[in-house]
Amino acid sequence: MCLVFSGLEVVFASGREYGGTRVTEEREHIMRYLHRVVSAAAVVAATSVVLAQGVAVPPPADEVFNIPARIDLPVYQLDDIDWNRVADLERQDALQGLGPRYAVPYEVDISPASHGSWVQASENTMVWRLRVACDNAVSLNFGFDRYHLPEATRLFIYDTHPGRAIRPFTEDDNAAHGELWTPPTVGNDVILELTVPVKAMDRLDLHLGVINAGYRGFEEFFNDRSGSCNVDVVCPEGDGWRAEIASVAVISTGGSTFCTGFMVNNTANDETPYFMTANHCGINSGNAASLVVFWNYETSTCGGTPDGVLSDFQTGAFYRASKSSSDFTLVELDSLPQPEWMVAYAGFDATGADADWACAIHHPSTDEKRISFEWQPTTTTSYLGTSVPGDGTHVRVADWDVGTTEPGSSGSPLFNQDHRVIGQLHGGYAACGNDLSDWYGKFSVSWNGSSSSNRLRDWLDPLNSGALTVDTLWPGASGITVTPGDTFVSEGQAGGPFTPASRVYTIRNMGDFAVSYNVTTPDNWLSISNASGTIPAAGTADVTVSINANANSLPNGGYTGVVYFINTTDHDGDTARPVQLFVGVPERVYRWNMNSNPGWSTQGQWAWGVPTGGGGEFGNSDPTSGATGSRVYGYNLNGDYANNMPEYHLTTTAIDCSNLSRTTLKFQRYLNVEQPAYDHAYIRVSNDGTTWTEVWTNSSEITDNSWRQVEYDISAVADGQPSVYIRWTMGTTDSSWRYSGWNIDDVEIWGVVATACAPDLTGDGVLDFFDVLAFLEAFDNQDPVADFSADGVFDFFDVLEFLDQFANGCP
């Protein structure tokens, strides 16, 4: 998505809009960022676009032949990156709505005849080498405007440390457009090496027209990394979406900008490599050949250290169509992806119908692939509009329930509940920590147009069938998949009813032969219909999981169940789906309205009192009163926070949550803080006062000008805990641009209060023989506590109900 430079009132690469008046300060802000990138270059070089992993690259020629060492080659030295030029380019790109930039181009005129050095390495082999350096770059990539290699010729690109290299380019990379654009090679000192059979020298045609010097890697995009709310596609939430996940890629264009895109199917299901992205990402007929597509850039573990590999790449495409109103571009890749990459072709829905719910798969900040969900229906609007239908060109996602999107997600697909694309990301305001909207160019609008150059139907319906829906094609796939892949969550009061009462799961046979299945659960409060059967090749079966009457006797609390989906034919794709049942309705348990001082621990300039409306050097000033009443807790009630500040905390006293489940924190917020590349605000929670869990941090600049209630789930730390602490943190901050910081009011703790364990008549928390004796005594005395059937009659049914609850125990 777009970059937003601190409030400049323009639509950046993906169209994210922010209001503000600091246009004259924009250049300074960009420059501040760029200098930080330079200072972190060593870190970026270690973690950015490295393609050596997973690539088998032969040793350099000087290790095979008796030729001069590569380190002694003369250097084609590029001028250092001019950061003033970079700032100008980034502003120009943003104003034109182009994709975000990671490198700057240097136009050159280089061929093996004019530069570098030739040496005859053997009787049959010639070697040409060129060493290129740019001292303050973190990567280099190359645009060959003429590329034709004869048979048995190979082009290698490697850092002077040859462990970091790209796969060899060969005659297989020759394309009708005659160009080759390479992925970045990490490092600022790179060698191009060409090995050519002597007999093929007269058929070599190679000319280098552009060298791009990188100043940030794929993982170093404007702010830090993508927000913590993003969900890796390898996590359980991605189960059931494996085919669609395999269709999405991160892309680079012209060696200097990047976005997200996806392979799209057509009515012939013939694996034509059509690839879609956003029009504002800047691909056109003049630069489509420079497209580089990176497949399978994903983390290896859910929530683990980012370790994606960028070795599954292909280069080059032919421009087919685009439209600015719905922000789409369609290209045809100039070759098929390698079969071992297991790339899928996403299905689509061009009917124009809104989705019941939606799923986005994308590369936020061009990090490893992530997945996001919106469980509410989408709407049709204008771009950045909320009125329905507006001009009808866009699909609006009101707010993300799982994950988000970010800069770099532009061009990524939005799938409906039937796993079909209904749009590609244009832009919006969504980020971790907010409930704001995104807008996707509407696929049905892109479907039609005045000619094949501005519509999809000519390309994606080659059969002229009139079909408006196509399913995802995943060549080589097998086994079963199950959707949806997230947790089935149901809730209600003790005794029921519970909502939703059921969920339908779709089992899809991905293979070419029929399979049998069986669905089971060990939990007696779950029922399954259509629990077994046979699914034909490429067919589906629907299975319904329901909350049954046994749940009505469960006391307040949370219950976790599981449903197993088994492929009984060959067990390919066996999986499980979690179920959570929440009995009881959350209620407010604690409230601090700040009318009196709660006596919480403070550091730095944290204080309880009346805010004065001061500050606002940047952003907005403090409020002049609380959300309710006059007093608040705030950081510097008289103005802005300081520069170069460490972390300072406001910490509550111990809060007893031992009797709570589904614990949430609610409070009124009035916060102004610079974006997290520079200044920070946090909320953390602890159940021991020593180990702290972050539940929120600012993922962007925040400039509140009114009070707003916010809510955070703290159940993972607080549920059932006798001593819970909540901490608001201001800092760290950098050396300039001060904001007014935190103000909080009306802090509340909500949760489901556990009901007493009815058969624990002694109240000691243990079910034992003494509880049985207590029941018999109460029964003899006709004490209402013994009326377990709640019918006002003391009889055998009370005994049966007591024994049943005693046997089942208490949560």
| pLDDT level of residue 60 (50, 70, 90 thresholds) | confident
Query: Is residue 58 within 8 Å of 158, Cβ to Cβ?
Result: no
Contacts for 13 with CB less than 8 Å, ≥ 6 apart? 1, 2, 3, 93, 94, 97, 98, 99, 100, 259, 280, 281, 407, 410
Residue 2 has pLDDT above 70, yes or no: no
Whether 724 and 653 map to the same domain: the answer is yes
Burial of 154 (0-12, 13-18, 19+ CB in 10 A): middle
Is residue 5 assigned to a domain? no
Whether 337 and 402 map to the same domain: the answer is yes
Is residue 219 assigned to a domain? no
Give SS3 for 441.
Answer: strand
Phi, psi of 83 (to 5 degrees): -70, -25
pLDDT in tens, 358-395: 999 999 877 899 999 999 999 999 999 999 999 999 99
CA distance 218 to 184: 10
Residue 26 has pLDDT above 50, yes or no: no
Residue 30 has pLDDT above 60, yes or no: no
Residue 93 has, within 13 A of its CA and on its CB side, a CA count of 24
CA distance 508 to 484: 11
CA distance 315 to 217: 18
Q: According to the model, what pLDDT value does residue 226 have? A: 63
Helix, strand, coil shares of the chain, percent, nearest 5, are 15, 35, 50
CA distance 633 to 741: 11
Whether 636 and 673 map to the same domain: the answer is yes
Report residue 369 as tokens: 């692939």
Query: Is residue 149 within 8 Å of 155, Cβ to Cβ?
Result: yes
Whether 356 and 389 map to the same domain: the answer is yes
In 3D space, the residue among 393, 440, 404 whose CA is nearest the CA of residue 278 turns out to be 440
pLDDT in tens, 568-613: 999 999 999 999 999 998 999 999 999 999 999 999 999 999 999 9
Lowest mean pLDDT among 157-171, 455-469, 715-729: 157-171
Mean pLDDT, residues 541-556 taken together: 94
Number of structural domains found in the chain: 5
| pLDDT level of residue 95 (50, 70, 90 thresholds) | low
Beta bridge partners of 395: 380, 440
Q: According to the model, what pLDDT value does residue 20 have? A: 32
For tokens 């191009």, what's the residue? 192
Mean pLDDT of the chain: 88
CA distance 120 to 198: 9
Is residue 764 assigned to a domain? no
Residue 33 has pLDDT above 80, yes or no: no
CA distance 411 to 279: 8
Whether 599 and 557 map to the same domain: the answer is no
Is pLDDT larger for residue 476 or for residue 320? 320
CA distance 327 to 424: 8
In 3D space, the residue among 301, 297, 311, 286 whose CA is nearest the CA of residue 361 turns out to be 297
Beta strands in 571-659 (DSSP E): 575-583, 587-592, 601-602, 606-609, 632-635, 648-651
Q: According to the model, what pLDDT value does residue 590 have? A: 97
Query: Is residue 361 within 8 Å of 233, Cβ to Cβ?
Result: yes
Whether 607 and 631 map to the same domain: the answer is yes
Q: According to the model, what pLDDT value does residue 16 have? A: 33
Whether 276 and 195 map to the same domain: the answer is no
Q: At what angle do helices 796-808 and 769-780 cross, to 10 degrees?
A: 160
Is residue 572 assigned to a domain? yes
Q: Provide the b/e sequence for 247-275 (b: ≥16 CB within 10 Å).
A: bbbbbbbbbbbbbbbbbbbbbeeeebbbb
Range of the domain at 784: 769-808
Whether 735 and 792 map to the same domain: the answer is no
User: Which residues participate in catalysis according to the annotation?
Assistant: 280, 327, 410
Give SS3 for 169.
Answer: strand
Residue 144 has pLDDT above 70, yes or no: yes
Q: According to the model, what pLDDT value does residue 123 have? A: 93
| pLDDT level of residue 659 (50, 70, 90 thresholds) | confident
Is pLDDT larger for residue 759 or for residue 55? 759
Report residue 418 as tokens: 């039937």
Mean pLDDT, residues 231-253 taken together: 93
Is residue 238 assigned to a domain? yes
- The pTM for the full model equals 0.67
Residue 223 has pLDDT above 60, yes or no: no
Report residue 642 as tokens: 């300081």
pLDDT in tens, 621-648: 999 999 999 999 999 999 999 999 999 9
Lowest mean pLDDT among 13-22, 257-266, 438-447, 505-514: 13-22
Whether 452 and 512 map to the same domain: the answer is no
Residue 259 has pLDDT above 60, yes or no: yes
Is residue 773 assigned to a domain? yes
Mean pLDDT, residues 258-282 taken together: 96
- According to DSSP, the β-strands at 681-686 and 693-697 are antiparallel
Residue 221 has pLDDT above 60, yes or no: no
Query: Is residue 108 within 8 Å of 206, Cβ to Cβ?
Result: no
Q: According to the model, what pLDDT value does residue 18 have? A: 29
Is residue 2 assigned to a domain? no
Whether 141 and 203 map to the same domain: the answer is yes
| pLDDT level of residue 700 (50, 70, 90 thresholds) | confident
Lowest mean pLDDT among 219-223, 396-400, 479-483, 583-587: 219-223
| pLDDT level of residue 3 (50, 70, 90 thresholds) | very low
pLDDT in tens, 323-363: 999 999 999 999 999 999 999 999 999 999 999 999 999 99
CA distance 245 to 680: 33
Whether 638 and 503 map to the same domain: the answer is no
Whether 629 and 741 map to the same domain: the answer is yes
Q: According to the model, what pLDDT value does residue 99 have? A: 60
CA distance 628 to 700: 27
Q: Which CATH number goes with the domain that contains 703?
A: 2.60.120.260
Is residue 6 assigned to a domain? no
CA distance 710 to 266: 44
